[in-house]
Structure 1
Amino acid sequence: MRQPSWFIPHGGGPCFFMDWSPIGPADTWKGMEVFLRSLLDGAPRPRAVLVISAHWEAPDFTVNAAAQPPLLFDYHGFPPHTYRLQYPAPGDPVLAALVVERIRGAGLPCARIDDRGLDHGVFVPMLLIDPPAQLPVVQLSLREGLDPAEHLRLGRALAPLRDEGVLILGSGMSFHDVRALMRGDSARDAQVFDDWLTTAAVDAPDRRDAALVDWQRAPGARAAHPREEHLLPMMVAAGAAGDDVGTRVYSEPIMGNRVSAYRFG
């Protein structure tokens, strides 16, 4: 039942569920879609999924403990039908309480709420990962300040859940300069940062964690992430990895800029 931890890209808004051709090539997101649809293939099925999304920041780490969380359509300017998507996955209040307990036990501040919807960093990839919406989903926020060391500590606090059948999913993007992504003119920065991130992910855990804490010194770092909220879920996934070395399991250029995903365990 031991589950891996993942850092995945969740695409651009509801990109997998719309005609992208007015914006760029119609197959822009096809490779990422295929990857996300295959994420659970060939592994024991988790009992629940704990998702850390780039699209929720809170003063303290905060757990959504709703028994039946609604959806939060936190994207703008997309076709009307993308605001009618449904993903009626159950929550898991018992798991949410355990997550709070583990985070507080690690000396980190943690709160819980029961009335927040799942944002698109959760429901968009989960529509592909588990289309029947059968797996319970619990969402956990980032913490304001976006301290990479603190988010690694968060991941370490969550690591024992992997042995209880909980899949830990960091949902962000390995490259996230939206303007550059749309222009397609940052290929070199995206590539050099991706090379660095992959080297860090597959390194020995102590060197991996040291590199991730100091990520801003990486080549292309601030070009790839003018603001780091879409990278921080990687820190949580790596922290939850324990002694497991990472593997790059997906990589392709999206509108000219390389984007990757990593699995630990």
Structure 2
Amino acid sequence: METLQPVLFLSHGAGPSYYLDVKTMPMFNGLDKDSKAADFLRTLVKTHGLKKPEAILVISAHWEESVCTVNTNSKHSLYYDYYNFPPEMYKLSWPVKGAPEVARKVKRLLEERGITCKENCDRGLDHGVFVPLKLVYPDADIPVCQLSLLKNMEVSDHLKIAESLSELCEQNVLIIGSGFATHKGGKPGAPPPAWATAFKQWLNETLTCDSLSPDERKIKILSSAKTAPNINIAHPRLEHFLPLIMCSAIAKYQSAKLIHSEFLMESLLNEHYLF
């Protein structure tokens, strides 16, 4: 019998912040290597009793293509897609293998539903993948593949992609969305502004409220780019938001569990969800 895997959304930190000393870069206080945020990821598997999957599929905020694209590498390099950090941050390693068979399942599932999907066997795993997962799975012993977002940032297109992937969860594949609950920081140590708390309330209610049916939740998410309060401030572009709502679609719009929540840098909402 196949193991049923949950779907996870992880807020993935600020560049490689989870490996930085706050004494060296104080602006990343709360997202540094000794932070509560980093500790949460280190203990996630044990705390929430996650079963070891056969493979991991990651949808990261940091890969956009004109056409949906899946990474078919059998062996991964890392793509250090961040700037102006100490030299050692460009020497981080996470020697995880690829999951080309799972990648081709992804391609087949999408194409069966009329969604064009290309293969890419060259691109390295970006920091939305290796920065959080190096903490969650430090042994790098679970094959990983990655699926891109679309450059058009259309909510409906991304939900269709996500809905096509649900059966992978029944095949012992852990699907992880990697982004941020809000993608706008401010003054370190300052309290969150009203716009940020209003967006947080909407997000929490939309994703976790048991009184919403799956159809009702989908309707709210479909209109979110226009109706979610202050979303244009919380997400000036939607690339960090789309992996989160795609997790809901993969989980068939069932209610999620909010497993970690904190504001950092004034309005940067560091939240993780388990679907």
Bucket of the pairwise TM-score, normalised by the shorter protein:
over 0.9
Question: Which of 9, 12, 15 is the matching residue for 2:11?
Answer: 9
**Residue identity opposite 2:21 in structure 1:** D
Instruction: Return the alpha-carbon distance in structure 2 between the equivalents of residues 10 and 27 of structure 1.
Output: 13
Aligned residues: 263
Q: Does 1:238 align with 2:248?
A: yes
1:57–1:185: structure 2 CA closer, same or farther, 3 Å change rule? farther
TM-superposed deviation, 1:106:
1.6
Instruction: Return the alpha-carbon distance in structure 2 between the equivalents of residues 152 and 28 of structure 1.
Output: 30
Instruction: Return the alpha-carbon distance in structure 2 between the equivalents of residues 135 and 199 of structure 1.
Output: 33
Question: Which of 249, 252, 255 is the matching residue for 2:262?
Answer: 252
The alignment-based identity, stated in percent, is 36
> Cα deviations across residues 97-136 of structure 1 (Å, max 9, x unaligned)?
1110001112112101100000000000111110010010
Partner of 2:43: 38
Q: Give the secondary-structure state (helix, strand or coil) at the position aligned to 2:164.
A: helix
Contact 2:9–2:244 (CA<8 Å) still a contact in 1? yes
Partner of 1:199: 205
TM-superposed deviation, 1:31:
2.0
Partner of 2:98: 91
1:256–1:114: structure 2 CA closer, same or farther, 3 Å change rule? same
**Residue identity opposite 1:75 in structure 2:** Y
Partner of 2:217: 208
Q: Give the secondary-structure state (helix, strand or coil) at the position aligned to 1:40.
A: helix
**Residue identity opposite 2:138 in structure 1:** P
Partner of 1:147: 154
TM-superposed deviation, 1:185:
7.2
Instruction: Return the alpha-carbon distance in structure 2 between the equivalents of residues 25 and 57 of structure 1.
Output: 26
Report which stretch shifted further, 152-161 or 199-208: 199-208
Partner of 2:177: 170
1:92-171 correspondence runs (5 A): 92-171=99-178
1:104–1:251: structure 2 CA closer, same or farther, 3 Å change rule? same
For normalisation by structure 1, the TM-score amounts to 0.94
